[in-house]
Amino acid sequence: MIQVRNLVKTYKDVKALKGVNVHVKKGEIFAYLGPNGAGKTTTIRILTGLTRATAGTCLINGFDIATQTGDAKKQYGLVPQAINLDQELTVQENLLIHGWLYHMASSDIAGRVNELLDYVELSPKKKSLVKTLSGGMKRRLMIARALLHSPGVLFLDEPTVGLDAAIRRKIWTLIKKIQQQGTTIFLTTHYIEEAEFLADRVAFIDQGSMVALDTPANLMAARGAWAIDRLVADVMETLYFKTREEADTFNTNRSEQFTLRRVNLEDAFLDLTGKKVK
Amino acid sequence: MIQGIIAIYVREMLILKRRLSRQIPSWSISPFLYLTAFSYAVGRGVSIDGHSYLEFLIPGLIAMGSMTQAFAIASEINIARFYWHIFEEFQAAPISKFAYVAGEVLAGMTRALLAIGVIMVLGFLFGVRLHYGFAFFMALLLNSFVFASLAVGLAMVVKSHADQAMLTNFIITPMAFLGGTFFPVDRLPQWAGAILNLLPLTHASKAIRAACLGEPVNLFSYVLLFIIGSLFFGLAVWCVERAKD
Ligand SMILES: Nc1ncnc2c1ncn2[C@@H]1O[C@H](COP(=O)(O)OP(=O)(O)OP(=O)(O)O)[C@@H](O)[C@H]1O
Ligand SMILES: [Mg+2]
């Protein structure tokens, strides 16, 4: 479980977070969705003890990251936004060092390494140097590393950024699988469909403030079920309808180009922020 | 705690092991050039306090080498921090700041000892026989302790790799030339000698040289190096905390 209360972070003149409140429940996938610079990474860095908060408290499984740092740090695994593996070491060595950093017994590490490499489908790469792996493999290795010490909470900062569609789906499947083992997952993303597919609940964050927090279904339902995108005088406009029939009725007797589709999370986000996420 | 130190230390050693075949030649180049140049250019005619110039020079090179190689850990830390972001993995891990600094300092000291091994072999090949006993190794360890600790502290303070290079130019390079490595500090005007006697490297060179030449060592130098090293170590631990933004 993660509890964040009134979290504020100010860098010299930038207000990165302006009082965020979050309560992530045990076993859920919680997506933190927002555009570039919204404050997603800042939140994760504070939650994981890499950055100090200006004000507010963060509890992980009940431990305060600022005052009970040692205990809090044992509760979670972290997959940061930038790849931070030791490129000149092998896959196995990277995992071994991580196990020692988390006070695991060497005898336990060996078994757990095999188990996790199997889990993320990297067993054949065990002895390879990390620099010889592809981007998707490195991501999977980072996930395996973060799970090595069997944490109850997993932080994923943009886990699929820069990966192709097929690999992204592979990582999504992996994340779902990790949830099924009982792990609580806090993930940030600026891909709407990622949050829509994975998350039990989604928080929209924009310029350091949370603008909405609900299940994807509820967030979308607020706008209706169907949407029509159309061009009016060269400006794109989206109209929302409760039912398909309403939308069809609207379209009869009109000649301009349009697209009829289901409402998605992006509509909800646009509505709440007046801005477009990628 | 011990396990944290081991994790940090073993990681540095694994990286060093992979590079060793390139590292050893690179460690040999500058001592080899100094030894060749000085043994032909000044070697024969000059003697200092009854010793040949090479007998004087090799302990100086050892002092300098242990300083620069221990300090070189700063570059490793910087690359890991700014380029590979690996420092975040240590920041997120439940290890103490003390364990992190201790692991890195031990790694720096190990590097220094290996590089000195290369200089000792070269000295032997150049036909110089010196005493490498307990007093010698203690001085060597203390000197590398001082500069590895300084390196870890500075690596936490700098904001980029370029800053790091600048610090090396301002601190390490002048000290390498002035710290009693190439010429005896006592031969300088008194005021200059007094200033240079404040540098830890001057004390390390004196202690290492006396030990190598089988002369009595000055215990004060050892105590001073230990105190300076401990101070730098403490500062480094404090700087690790400050490295959080
Ligand atoms: N170390 C720092 N110093 C100063 N400002 C910072 C620092 N880190 C982040 N910021 C600022 O804080 C704000 C939030 O940044 P953050 O990295 O949390 O955004 P993000 O939501 O993760 O964006 P992205 O999708 O690009 O990763 C930005 O305006 C950023 O410029
Ligand atoms: Mg980010």
pLDDT at res. B44: 64
Coil, helix or strand at residue B168: helix
Asked if residue A14 has its Cβ within 6 Å of ligand 1, the reply is: yes
CB contact at 8 A, B120 and B19: no
Q: What is the DSSP string of A208-277?
A: TEEEEEE-HHHHHHTT-SEEEEEEETTEEEEEEESSHHHHHHHHTT--S-EEEEE--HHHHHHHHHSS--
DSSP H helices in A21-105? 40-47, 69-75, 91-101
CA A237–ligand 2 middle distance (angstroms): 30
CA A101–ligand 2 middle distance (angstroms): 25
- Only one residue has tokens 């994981």, namely A48
Name the most confidently modeled range: A216-225, B211-220, B230-239: B230-239
pLDDT at res. B43: 62
* Contact between B85 and A87 using a beta-carbon 8 Å cutoff: no
Give the lowest-confidence range in A124-133, A242-251, A269-278, B161-170: A269-278
Asked if residue A34 has its Cβ within 6 Å of ligand 1, the reply is: yes
| C-alpha span between A188 and B202 (Å, rounded) | 54
DSSP B91: H
DSSP A105: -
For residue B106, what are its two tokens?
């031990």
| C-alpha span between A54 and A42 (Å, rounded) | 11
CA A38–ligand 2 middle distance (angstroms): 8
Residues whose CB is less than 8 angstroms from the CB of residue B49 and which lie 6 or more positions away in sequence, other chains included:
B56, B184
What DSSP element (H or E) covers B60?
helix B53-71
* Contact between A101 and B88 using a beta-carbon 8 Å cutoff: no
The mean pLDDT of A34-38, rounded to a whole number, is 88
pLDDT at res. A278: 45
Q: How far is CA A182 from CA A3, A27, A151, A157, A200, in A?
A: 18, 5, 10, 19, 14
* Pairing outcome for strands A29-33 and A184-189: parallel
Which band of pLDDT confidence, cut at 50, 70 and 90, is reported for residue A228? confident
The mean pLDDT of A17-44, rounded to a whole number, is 93
pLDDT at res. B39: 79
CB contact at 8 A, A25 and A185: no
Amino acid at B140: L
CB contact at 8 A, A194 and A206: no
pLDDT at res. A276: 53
**Cβ–Cβ pairs < 8 A, chains A and B:** 69
| C-alpha span between A17 and A14 (Å, rounded) | 9
Residues B21, B22, B27, B29, Cα dihedral to 10°: 120
Please give the backbone phi and psi of residue A230, each rounded to the nearest 5 degrees, phi first: -145, 160
* Pairing outcome for strands A153-157 and A184-189: parallel
Residues whose CB is less than 8 angstroms from the CB of residue B159 and which lie 6 or more positions away in sequence, other chains included:
none
- Only one residue has tokens 């060996």, namely A110
CA distance B243 to chain A (A): 9
CB contact at 8 A, B135 and B207: yes
Of residues B237 and A235, more confidence is placed in B237
Which band of pLDDT confidence, cut at 50, 70 and 90, is reported for residue A275? low
Asked if residue A4 has its Cβ within 6 Å of ligand 1, the reply is: no
- Only one residue has tokens 């690359």, namely B79
Residue A175 has pLDDT above 70, yes or no: yes
What residue owns the CA closest to ligand 1's atom 1? B245
Give the lowest-confidence range in A51-55, B108-112, B119-123, B158-162: B158-162
CA A206–ligand 2 middle distance (angstroms): 12
Residue A198 has pLDDT above 90, yes or no: yes
* Contact between B11 and A97 using a beta-carbon 8 Å cutoff: yes
pLDDT tens digits, one per residue of B25-54: 999 998 999 888 887 777 667 778 788 888
pLDDT tens digits, one per residue of B105-156: 999 999 999 999 999 999 999 888 888 999 999 999 999 999 999 999 999 9
pLDDT at res. A172: 93
List of long-range contacts for B230-233, beta carbons under 8 Å, 24+ apart: B232/B146, B232/B149, B232/B150, B232/B153, B233/B101, B233/B105, B233/B145, B233/B149
Q: Which residues of A touch B89 (CB under 8 A)?
A: 84, 98, 101
ipTM of the complex: 0.90
Please state the length of chain A. Answer: 278
The mean pLDDT of A69-94, rounded to a whole number, is 95
The mean pLDDT of A25-54, rounded to a whole number, is 93
What DSSP element (H or E) covers A154?
strand A153-157
Query: pTM of the prediction?
Result: 0.90
pLDDT at res. B231: 97
Give domain limits for chain A.
2-219, 224-262
pLDDT at res. B198: 85
**Which residues is A228 bridged to in the sheet?**
A239, A260
What is the Rg, in whole angstroms, of the alpha carbon atoms belonging to chain A? 21
* Contact between A101 and B94 using a beta-carbon 8 Å cutoff: yes
**In chain B, at which residue ranges do the beta strands (DSSP E only) sit?**
47-48, 51-52
CATH fold for the domain made of A2-219: Rossmann fold (3.40.50)
For residue A181, what are its two tokens?
């083992």
CA distance A272 to chain B (A): 31
